[in-house]
Amino acid sequence: MSTIYICGLGAVSPAGWGVPALREALNKGEPLPLQSLDRPGGQKPLRARLVPSPAARPGFLAHQRLRRTSPITHYSAAAALEALATAPAVRDGKLRLGLVVSLQTGCVHYCCRFYDETLRDPATASPLLFPETVFAAPASHVATLLEHVTLAYTLVGDPTAFLQAVALGVRWLEEKRVDASLIIGAEETHWILADALWHLEREAVFTGGAGALCLSCDPQLSVGVQLAAITDPHTYSARLPRGRAARAMRDQLDGSNSDLLCDGLGGGPRANAPEAAAWADWTGPRLSLKRTLGEGLMAAAAWQCVAACDAVAGGRFAAANVSLVGGSQQAIGARFVAANRMPAATT
């Protein structure tokens, strides 16, 4: 077993572009303002929390490959570059980098635009849009932007797949196939996603953005946090309902009530019930960031991990647990601790 250090964090959220904006919003603890998303047909607008425009046009948008890309790629790229800012050796191409991008809904803006054009007349549907519809597009663009990516995967699933992506990045590190792993979770906001969420979970507010973690075995690169555990993925099935899966995940996570719990509560009572029950006995500090930010699916899972690591890195907590109870796949959790809290394992 290797010791896995967190060597960078990145976030784009409705709170703004960057981890400081996320931290500030979460510290305030107040739900961010809601915006309206129009849907066709003049129906009642949908509620959402949109990512604000960046203060300045991001420099990476000048890159030839990123000129026509969709918001999900912009968010992913910004989170990636922020996560690598504290690891210049990785950013500057001195180390081999593995990239895992995880998505639930993917490149919906371009999918909807292209399919709309197809329905109007396929003979005139734009060939520029279609390549940007594939799940693999953000990973491809970010890999090109960073230049020195040697392995790249895109994982799809419910938000719990973010921690599977982290586990994959860890494995690449342990097998010495890469020197650092960059894990991104991202979604973009679109009326059709808010509409779909409304059908599944009326109380939830859709949002988008991205979160990123950079991992390495090198303690010199650490921001003061290390990965202590990722639980088994407890997959829902006919024999393992959500509640039992959530409980099984919770039982695999250590922790005392002085640790922080970053949970995924924030939707309606029905959606929250399994996770709330699994952590009912938790009396320690708890951060339910979806109450502030909204339901960002894979991005929200990434923010949970970013917020947990940021809290530990900032010395506010010695350890933080992340609880992900997905809507349609599995329950999975992780634990992050201060880097000096665990003895270095033999690599």
Partner 1 sequence: MLFPAPSPPRRPSRVVITGAGILTALGQGWKPNADGFRAGSTAFRRVSLFDVSRQRVKVAAEADLPATLPSTRLSARQIARLDRPSTMLLWAALEAWQQAGWEATEDLPLVLGTTSGGMSLGEDYFRQAVQATGRHRQQATRALQYQSQVQARLVLDALGFNGPITIISNACASGSNAIGHAWEIVRSGQSDRVLAGGYDTLSQMVFSGFDALQALSPTTCRPFDAGRDGLALGEGAALVALETLESARRRGAAILGELAGYGTTIDQHHLTQPHPEGDAAAAAMTLACDSARLTPEDIDYINAHGTGTPLNDSSEALAIQSWAGRRAATLPVSSTKASIGHLLGGAGAVEAVVCLMALREQWLPPEIVFETPDAACNFPIVRQPQDARVNVALSNSFGFGGVNATLVLRRWT
Site for partner 1, residues 218 to 257, rule: CB under 8 A:
227, 229-233, 235-240, 252
Indicate whether 258 belongs to the interface with partner 1 (CB under 8 A). Answer: no
Give the shortest CB-148-to-partner 1 separation in angstroms: 9
* 195, 203, 244, 284: residue in contact with partner 1 (rule CB under 8 A): 195
- Which residue in 199, 211, 314, 320 sits closest to 258, CA to CA? 320
Indicate whether 161 belongs to the interface with partner 1 (CB under 8 A). Answer: yes
Determine the angle formed by the axes of helices 191-200 and 108-120, rounding to 10 degrees. 100
Tell me how far the alpha carbon of residue 209 is from its chain's centroid: 8
- Which residue in 217, 211, 250, 191 sits closest to 339, CA to CA? 217
Distances (CA, A) of 174 to 5, 215, 252, 298: 12, 11, 22, 25
- CA dist 18 and 294 (Å) reads 17
Contact at 8 Å (CB) between 95 and 179? yes
Indicate whether 85 belongs to the interface with partner 1 (CB under 8 A). Answer: no
* 24, 38, 147, 254: residue in contact with partner 1 (rule CB under 8 A): 147
* 51, 81, 170, 262: residue in contact with partner 1 (rule CB under 8 A): 170
Determine the angle formed by the axes of helices 242-251 and 269-278, rounding to 10 degrees. 30
Count, residues near partner 1 per rule CB under 8 A: 82
Angle at alpha carbon of residue 301, lines to 266 and 289, rounded to 5° = 35
Per the structure block, which two tokens stand in for 219? 């303690």
User: Which of the residues 260 through 279 are near partner 1 (CB under 8 A)?
Assistant: none
Only one of the segments 45-53, 140-148, 264-272, 284-292 lies at the binding site for partner 1 (rule: CB under 8 A); that segment is 140-148
Indicate whether 127 belongs to the interface with partner 1 (CB under 8 A). Answer: yes
3-class state of residue 213 by DSSP: strand
Q: Exposed, middle or buried by CB within 10 Å (0-12, 13-18, 19+), for 119?
A: exposed
The helix or strand, by DSSP H or E, that contains position 32, with its residue range, turns out to be none
Indicate whether 52 belongs to the interface with partner 1 (CB under 8 A). Answer: no
3-class state of residue 49 by DSSP: strand
Indicate whether 342 belongs to the interface with partner 1 (CB under 8 A). Answer: no
* 86, 133, 207, 323: residue in contact with partner 1 (rule CB under 8 A): 133
Indicate whether 328 belongs to the interface with partner 1 (CB under 8 A). Answer: yes
Indicate whether 111 belongs to the interface with partner 1 (CB under 8 A). Answer: yes
User: Which of the residues 88 through 107 are near partner 1 (CB under 8 A)?
Assistant: 103-104, 106
* Nearer CB in complex with partner 1: 34/136: 136
* 5, 114, 317, 336: residue in contact with partner 1 (rule CB under 8 A): 114
* 43, 220, 256, 283: residue in contact with partner 1 (rule CB under 8 A): 43
* Nearer CB in complex with partner 1: 133/288: 133
